[in-house]
Chain A
Amino acid sequence: MNIDTSPAIELRGAGKAFRTPSGALHTAVRNLDLTVGQGEFVAVVGPTGCGKSTTLTLVSGLEEPTEGEVLVAGEPVEGIGDKVGFVFQQDAVFPWRTVLSNVMAGPRFRGVPKAEAKEAARAWLSRVGLSAFEDRYPHQLSGGQRKRVALAATFVNDPRILLMDEPFSALDVQTRALMSDELLDLWSGTGASVVFVTHDLEESIALADRVVVMTAGPATVKRIFDIDLPRPRKVESVRLEPRFIEIYREIWESLGEEVRITRERGAADVA
């Protein structure tokens, strides 16, 4: 079957330019070529503000590319597909819904009967350890707990493609490591393909099968690194392994240069 053989995500020379309020054309990403295989975990790293997030919005169908092609499961992206899950950088849980109702939202939006949606939501809530909190409102939870709600709300839809836009960047360091482990745990066995955008190189190596380094904006793919660390991994311990440090050094050589360029540009803008 076509779906089984074609890669999960394919970007072919994709680019996106926005009109700024002043009318000028701002190119966020250009000439993007990237293939993500089925069940593969790909992390995208790059200097801040280089257009990493735009890549995700193109794959999700929230935005259309102005150039090139974006394919999901071999088909061009047209609007928002039902196979996609998206975890946002900021809190995107609905503050007026309880935890349970938040996790039920996806299935309910997709027309799943209420009882069935509730059952599925409860199952995912217990997997993220929030069963005792199902009647709480988001403002009564900690940042990490809210992120767990967001993860459960995303996974309950059983996405084939999981897009994550610096999902843990707002969390403190300990919570972040914990959430990364939890993410790997939730993801394993789902067979979903993941694109994980981050500016944290450590996080990207610990999580991914491949790390994509982006250039300074307007961003394009600079280099792709294979991460040959065995799974299952524990984020806290894997980063102490010699191989991890070796990989880190290698990727940083490539990434550091782009970070420098971005920084110098920023300094030039200020001056």
Chain B
Amino acid sequence: MSPDTVAALGVKPGTRTQERARAARTRRLLVQGSRVLLLVLVVALWEVLARAGVIDPFNFSMPSAIWDQIREWGAHGTAQGPLWEQIWYTLYEALLGWILGVTAGVVLGITLGRIRFLADVLGPYIKVLNAIPRIVLAPVFLIWFGLGPASKIASAVVLVFFPVFFNAFQGAREVDRNLVNNARILGASNRRVTLQVVVPSATSWIFTSLHVSFGFALIGAIVGEYIGATRGLGLLVAASQGTFNAAGVYAAMAILAVVALCTEGLLTFAERRLFRWRPAEPGAER
């Protein structure tokens, strides 16, 4: 709520408001504090149990060993090369696969959403393709495209494409008919209606799928690397597993989680900028 609205509601900017603000702040601190505490507790418990031998450190490793592993990779590099290079490779594959998959999904989804004939013809085939567990395509792509990034990008693309496609398709189908009619009356051509009415209305649908699909892109890249690669975090997991280095597997996972969180944050930021036209609180209007 902006200061204007508070004033308009006739609330006196006195002790009451201050108290409320303080209570809200305290709650926020409490939530954040509890979060940190939970993390510390879990990590500490893991460490203690592993050191005491209750859980087998060989299988489950322990936080200190994982941290040492990350530091060692950072300082001296991995067996496959410097750590940042592995991260960059995975990120590069995931990002390129994601962009290609999203582009294809959005373009095809909107096109099929707008052109009934195409949707009717292609619909069953898309359903069949969607029914294939696409992760099994990763070995096929390895055979087709080799050990390089291309095979990982391909598996990321097939994972990303479908959720984005279905959401874009649905978004294009569910455009408010009033808006379309209004645009047509105002003089918009079919192309204009698609670009300036259908695409903006579908963006909220598409964005929902973007969050999920970036996770899928990472999965595609990692699985591809795990099966066969020359670089990347997936390869780190595979190599660590091959040498019975549990800490290595967990360390690669931890790095992946951080990377995924950072990209998720960037996406949320982009979404906020793009959806300035929407009411601040989602769901407040509907």
Q: Using a CB–CB distance below 8 Å, which chain A residues touch chain B?
A: 60, 62, 80, 82, 84-86, 88, 90-98, 105-106, 109-110, 137-139, 153-154, 157
Contact = CB atoms under 8 A, between A and B. Distances in A.
Contacts of B179: 92, 94
A11 to B, nearest CB: 19
Interface stretch (B108-116, B117-125, B277-285): B277-285
Contacts of A95: 277-278
B276 A109 contact: no
29 contacts: A60-B185, A62-B181, A62-B184, A80-B184, A82-B187, A84-B185, A85-B185, A86-B185, A88-B182, A90-B178, A92-B178, A92-B182, A94-B182, A94-B196, A94-B200, A95-B277, A96-B200, A96-B201, A96-B277, A97-B277, A105-B183, A105-B186, A109-B188, A110-B187, A137-B276, A137-B277, A138-B277, A139-B278, A157-B186
Contacts of A62: 181, 184-185
Given A94-B197, A94-B200, A88 B183 contact: no
Contacts of A86: 181-182, 185
Interface residues of B, number: 23
B22 interface: no
B213 to A, nearest CB: 22
B71 interface: no
Given A96-B277, A139-B278, A157 B181 contact: no
A254 B18 CA distance: 62
Interface string B169-186: 000000010110111111
Contacts of A154: 186
A87 to B, nearest CB: 9
Nearest to A156: B186
B35 to A, nearest CB: 32
Given A88-B178, A92-B182, A110-B187, 12 more contacts: A62-B185, A80-B184, A80-B185, A85-B185, A94-B179, A94-B183, A105-B188, A106-B186, A106-B187, A153-B186, A154-B186, A157-B187
B181 to A, nearest CB: 6
B192 interface: yes
A88 B189 CA distance: 19
Interface in B178-235: 178-179, 181-189, 192, 196-197, 200-201, 203
B260 to A, nearest CB: 29
Interface in B255-286: 276-279, 285
Given A88-B182, A94-B179, A139 B285 contact: yes
- Leading 7 A-B pairs by shortest Cβ distance: A92-B182, A106-B186, A109-B187, A110-B187, A96-B277, A109-B188, A86-B185
A192 to B, nearest CB: 14
A70 to B, nearest CB: 15
A139 B285 CA distance: 9
Contacts of B196: 94, 105
A176 to B, nearest CB: 20
A109 B192 contact: yes
A98 B279 CA distance: 13
Contacts of A98: 277
Nearest to A90: B178
A265 to B, nearest CB: 27
B173 to A, nearest CB: 16
A65 to B, nearest CB: 17
A15 to B, nearest CB: 21
A237 B132 CA distance: 70
Nearest to B284: A139
B176 to A, nearest CB: 8
Contacts of A105: 183, 186, 188, 196
A106 B192 CA distance: 11
Nearest to B186: A106
Contacts of B187: 82, 106, 109-110, 157
Contacts of B197: 94
Nearest to A153: B186
A60 B201 CA distance: 24
A88 B278 CA distance: 21
Contacts of A92: 176, 178-179, 181-182
- A90, A92, A153, most chain B CB atoms within 10 A: A92
A88 B184 CA distance: 13
A98 B185 CA distance: 19
A91 B181 CA distance: 12
A88 B201 CA distance: 18
A109 B186 contact: yes
A80 B182 CA distance: 11
Contacts of B203: 96
A109 B183 contact: yes
